[in-house]
Amino acid sequence: MNLKSIRDIDVFHPYILIVIVLLFLAIAMPTWYYSGEIPPPYPQLYGYIALGLIFFVFGILFSRFVFKRFVLNKISDLDNEDKFKLKGNRNLEKLPFFGNYSKKELILISVVFIGILLQVINIAYLGGIPLFSASLKSRAATKIWLLSYIIFLPGINILLAKFNRNSHFILLIMGLILFALTGYRTTPITILLSVFITLFYTRDFKLKYQIIFVLMILIALVSIGFIAVKAISWQNWNLGPLQLVSYRAAFTLRILDRAINRQFMTGGALFYSTLTGFFTSTDPRVLVGQAVLSRNHSITSTIFGPALLDFGFIGMSIQMFLIGFILKTLHFIKEFKSTWICGIYGIILAQTLIWIETGPTDFVVWIFYFIAILIIISTFHKIFKSNLK
């Protein structure tokens, strides 16, 4: 396999979720089987993960069936799926460092600036840097933070997808630093990963730049979590940064192991609190802690855990099927729609990959999934409407 064929591999196909789940398991194993910090899980854990991934694959396959059966054959001027491919965007608006801004570009820049400004206001409102203070971190996810994130994340992805100007990476770095200062690992990692996916599909993205992005994601994953943990004055950790990553993975999977034995315990309360908790100050992850450990601790339970606690195996199966269907359908759509769809797909996929640890308990992620569903409905509607004329 030569270098060119390697570059043609669709690395960010929805199937990457399976790879990352297996990697997450591998990261946890040193803590289970070597350090002895956390006992290994029961064999049932692997069975439920396998079943969840099987239904995820079913969702992808069903999307392929629907798309080929009801969409591709509706478009008369296209003979096969390959003609949908969005070629490496050499036709992007490659502009100088300054000057020659289009109206669309100026609007997107303004949107990104508003997102950055709101995050500055949020940190100023908190009166300190949450990354170095556990008490401030617990209050950092304000409504200002939510609005900032909802504005900045799609803004920067669509801006980079549509306009190939180096100066836009300055905005990316500014936003990345500000969100990292909140002490949350997921937001800066989502920003980096989503931008990585967006650029992968919309640029002739050189291998050296891909390596730089991967290194930045790994550094953010290890360093932000380690610094934030060290800032918790009432806890004493003797683990190094890499050991901490393995410990967190092992602990999260151990929580999933317990959740398997407590199916239906929350009876839909987790899903309800995810959709409404941000406005009622209810943390769904605390509900996980109450259900699994009988403690008011905010803990994660992987992408499978919350659905099991709420609706059991059936709920987990439906969730994974729908995630597979939505991701694959959006993956199809982004290949023949405009470049901004690539930015939305990058956001959805990045958020879902992070769910592998955190679980679908973030209101902001459901907002982006709702946007993805609207895009899918709108696309199908336009295709069928045009064929009825």
Give the pLDDT band (50/70/90) at residue 140: confident
Q: Enumerate the β-bridge partners of residue 163.
A: 93
Which residues are CB-neighbours of 46 under 8 A, at least 6 positions away? none
Which pLDDT belongs to residue 322? 96
Query: What Cα–Cα distance (Å) separates residue 170 from each residue in 165, 204, 205, 296, 368?
Result: 10, 20, 18, 40, 24
Give the pLDDT band (50/70/90) at residue 3: very low
Tokens 């194993």 label which residue?
29
DSSP string, 351-383: HHHHHHHH-S--HHHHHHHHHHHHHHHHHHHHH
Does residue 185 sit in helix, strand or coil?
coil
Which pLDDT belongs to residue 79? 37
On whether the CB atoms of residues 150 and 98 are closer than 8 A, the answer is: no
Instruction: Please compute the mean of the pLDDT values over residues 117-132 and round it to a whole number.
Output: 88
pLDDT > 70: what percent of the chain?
Answer: 83
pLDDT in tens, 164-177: 888 899 999 999 99
pLDDT in tens, 22-50: 999 999 998 888 877 788 888 999 999 99
Distance, CA of 365 to CA of 359 (rounded, Å): 10
Q: Which of left, alpha, beta for 183 (phi over 0: left; psi -120 to 50: alpha)?
A: left
Which pLDDT belongs to residue 1? 44
Does residue 18 sit in helix, strand or coil?
helix
Burial classification of residue 301, based on how many CB atoms lie within 10 Å of its CB (0-12 exposed, 13-18 middle, 19 or more buried): buried
Which pLDDT belongs to residue 91? 45
Instruction: Please compute the mean of the pLDDT values over residues 197-206 and round it to a whole number.
Output: 85
pLDDT in tens, 323-373: 999 999 999 888 776 678 888 999 999 999 999 999 998 888 888 999 999
Amino acid residing at 344:
I
Closest CA to 187 of 123, 127, 240, 244: 123
Distance, CA of 210 to CA of 200 (rounded, Å): 8
pLDDT at 19 over 60: yes
pLDDT at 81 over 60: no
Token pair of 210 as six digits = 């891909």
Token pair of 388 as six digits = 């009825």
Distance, CA of 20 to CA of 26 (rounded, Å): 10
